Structures are given as structure tokens and as C-alpha cells.
Amino acid sequence: ELPKIIIDHNYKMRFDTNINGTLDWKFYPEVNTLNLKPGQVQTVKFQVENLSSSTTSGSASFNVSPSPFGIYLNKIGCFCFEKQTLRAGEKQEFVLTFFLDPKVVDDNKTKDIADVTLSFTFFSSDYYKKNKI
């Protein structure tokens, strides 16, 4: 459920993007940082390009740091929910829509934190296949 209030408390949200293993993709956010208020819905776009000469697929995992912040980050829509496929040389724009739960300011573990990093790592779909028997 979307928040009904916006708290006047600023957090600096940083975005970190990574590619793991053999996936030959270029992946970066349209903005590296943004100011975020709890309860405020934000949309961030990420540019992704398949640099290889074949169609490849990947899935993104994410991490929030500092970790106590993770329970307050609510993703409404995220490219990380599904496997993504890009044709050779294809470029796409992936979108993340999210908000910080206003309760973040009441938590002793998070109320004094000013900087938060949201990191995404794309893994090749082949990465997951090799672990199956």
C-alpha cells in the first residue's frame, strides 16, 4: 500500500550497478544519487545494453546498505522481478519505482542514517542453470 504521508527528512539514495560473470552488458542508472523523503514515490531509470553478438538473458539481484534500511525500501515496480532478455546490440531502459516506508524515521537503527545505497547486480541466466542437477 502506498504511503499517505511524506516525512520531511532527507536521505541520499545512491545507486550502484554491477554485472556478474559472463554477461556482456552495460548497465547504469540515469542518476547516481537522489534525495529521498520517506513516503515519497520515486522512479529511477536504468540504461542497459547488450554488448555481445548474441541474445542473452539475465536476472538482477539487489542489496540495500546499511542493511537495517532494507525492510523500509518498498519496490512497487522493478526490472529485478523478472528475467530480462536483450538481443545482440539491443539497448533498453529498465525502470524501478519505489518508496521508503515513513516508519524508517521511528527506528533507532535507521533514524540517524543519511546515506543509503541500493545496489543491483545482473547475473547471466546461465549462472542459475549451472547450479541445477
Print the SS3 string covering the chain. CCCCCCCCCCEEEEEEEEEECCCCEEEEECCCEEEECCCCCEEEEEEEEECCCCCEEEEEEEEEECHHHHHHEEEEEEHHHCCEEECCCCEEEEEEEEEECHHHHHCCCCCCCCEEEEEEEEEEHHHHHCCCC
pLDDT tens digits for 78-89?
999 899 999 999
Residue 98 pLDDT exceeds 90: yes
Residue 125 pLDDT exceeds 90: no
Q: What pLDDT is recorded for position 2? A: 76
pLDDT tens digits for 47-96?
999 999 999 999 999 999 999 999 999 999 999 989 999 999 999 999 99
